[in-house]
Amino acid sequence: MSSAAPSSNPRDLLVSVVVPCYNQARFLGECIESLLTQTHPRVEIVVVDDGSTDDSAEVAQSFGDRIVFLAQPNSGPASARTAGVLAAGGDVLAWCDGDDRLRPDCIERRLELLLGDESVGLVSGNVAFIDERGEKLDIPPEPHPGPVRVGFYGAVSRCWGATCGTVIRRSALEECGLMDPFLLTCEDWDLQIRIARKFAIVFDPRPLAEARQVSGSLSRIPLRLYDDGRRMLRKNRIYADSGWRYFWAGHRALFRQVVGMIFFRLRRERSGTNRLVAAIRLLLARPSLTVYVAAWLGRFVFNRIRRLLGIKPPP
């Protein structure tokens, strides 16, 4: 349990993977199997049952002493990850949710990026998407030529990569704090912003983890995302030295995510009337979304004018 001293041989480093699990018993076995077959030799698996009502606890306990098992009353994924970190002994922490999977070389590859540079505190990366049966979905991962290194405003300007498959130095968590349990979504973005205040963040474009697309997923609800995103941005604003730059970068990122999510939500409605009703309901629930709608309309008009004038948008 010493501090995260860069070991001469990274293969000796203990990596603790924290697996929060809430009613994901169907997928949990698959998830733990994928962690047990990692090519990195020293992996500790900490499964935190976040008050599941299904048989998640039995599934986890069937792995015996190959995993560390904790249970707590339901208090959200960030809280479960916090509990897992407190119980973990590794010098490097990794996240993997109970319904996701890591590819066998995920931890090894991401660890290379993390340990290659002393100033890197967190490495997150792309994921491939799978459906409930574990079949690969045809959603292409975001193309990027190579690993991207970002600082504070870079971290504010978008949430880099997915939660699952992220590796973090323990010393970065000690210096920058753990996840905020009051956030049910955006908690990974919040952690990235805080870590980016003191460390660099590296985004790995290789899809080394597999995230499951489940319809009832928490982060697919636009208003939840909007509320938490706004709270998270307000909370971290006290750390920014330039308020305007922070505001612009953060809200641009949140705008993209929320508007994308709202369109996804509206497209599911059958008729135009239903779509209109759903949109009005969203606006009535959060009147401040009007600003985002205005921004979207403005962008739409701006792009039309640009196309009329024949100006090509910047790459």
Partner 1 sequence: MAAQADPVAVSPRAPLVSIIVAGHNQGRFLRDALDSALAQEYSPVEVLYVDCGSKDDSLEVAASYAGRVRCAPRANLGPSGGRNVGIMLAEGDFFCFLDADDTMDSDCVLERIKPFLEDPEVGMVAGAFRAVDEQLEPLPGERQRTGTPNLRMPGLYIREPWSPTCGLLVSRRAVCACGLFDPFLWRAEDYDFQIRVTRKFRHVYDPVPRSSYRQIGSSISRNYSEVFDSVCDALRKNAAFADGRLQFRWHSFLALIAQSSGGVFGRQARERGIAEVLRTTARIALRRPIILVLFAAWAGRVVRNRLFRVARSSASAGGGCL
Nearer to partner 1, 191 or 259 (CB): 191
Strands 101-102 and 92-95: unpaired
Q: What angle do CA 110, 113, 116 make, to 5 degrees?
A: 140
Site string for partner 1, 199-238 (x = CB under 8 A): -------------------------------xxx-xx-xx
The answer to whether 1 contacts partner 1 (rule: CB under 8 A) is yes
Nearer to partner 1, 34 or 192 (CB): 192
Tracing tokens 């730059």 back to the chain, one arrives at 245
CA distances from 40 to 21, 77, 84 (A): 23, 25, 20
Q: What minimum distance in Å lies between the beta carbon of 21 and partner 1?
A: 15
Q: What minimum distance in Å lies between the beta carbon of 83 and partner 1?
A: 4
For the chain, strand residue ranges (E) read 15-21, 43-50, 68-72, 92-95, 101-102, 120-130, 148-150, 162-169, 200-212
Nearer to partner 1, 239 or 263 (CB): 239
Q: What minimum distance in Å lies between the beta carbon of 20 and partner 1?
A: 11
The answer to whether 3 contacts partner 1 (rule: CB under 8 A) is yes
Q: Write the DSSP assignment of 233-258 as a string of letters.
A: HHHHGGG-S-HHHHHHHHHHHHHHHH
Quote the DSSP letter at residue 288: T
Nearer to partner 1, 1 or 311 (CB): 1
**Residue from 6, 140, 239, 302 that binds partner 1 (CB under 8 A)?**
239
Nearer to partner 1, 41 or 177 (CB): 177
Nearer to partner 1, 234 or 268 (CB): 234
Residue count, binding to partner 1 (CB under 8 A): 33
Q: Write the DSSP assignment of 164-219 as a string of letters.
A: EEEEEEHHHHHHH----TT-SSSHHHHHHHHHHTTSEEEEEEEEEEEEE--TT-GG
Classify the phi-psi angles of 223: left when phi > 0, otherwise alpha if psi is within -120 to 50, otherwise beta: alpha
Write out the binding residues for partner 1, residues 69-98 only, by CB under 8 A: 72-73, 75-76, 79-80, 82-83, 85-86
CA distances from 43 to 46, 131, 150, 307 (A): 10, 26, 27, 53
Write out the binding residues for partner 1, residues 138-197 only, by CB under 8 A: 170, 173-182, 194, 197
Write out the binding residues for partner 1, residues 18-57 only, by CB under 8 A: none
Nearer to partner 1, 191 or 262 (CB): 191
The answer to whether 243 contacts partner 1 (rule: CB under 8 A) is no
114 contacts 202 by C-beta, under 8 angstroms: yes
Binding residues for partner 1, rule: CB under 8 A, are 1, 3, 72-73, 75-76, 79-80, 82-83, 85-86, 170, 173-182, 194, 197, 230-232, 234-235, 237-239
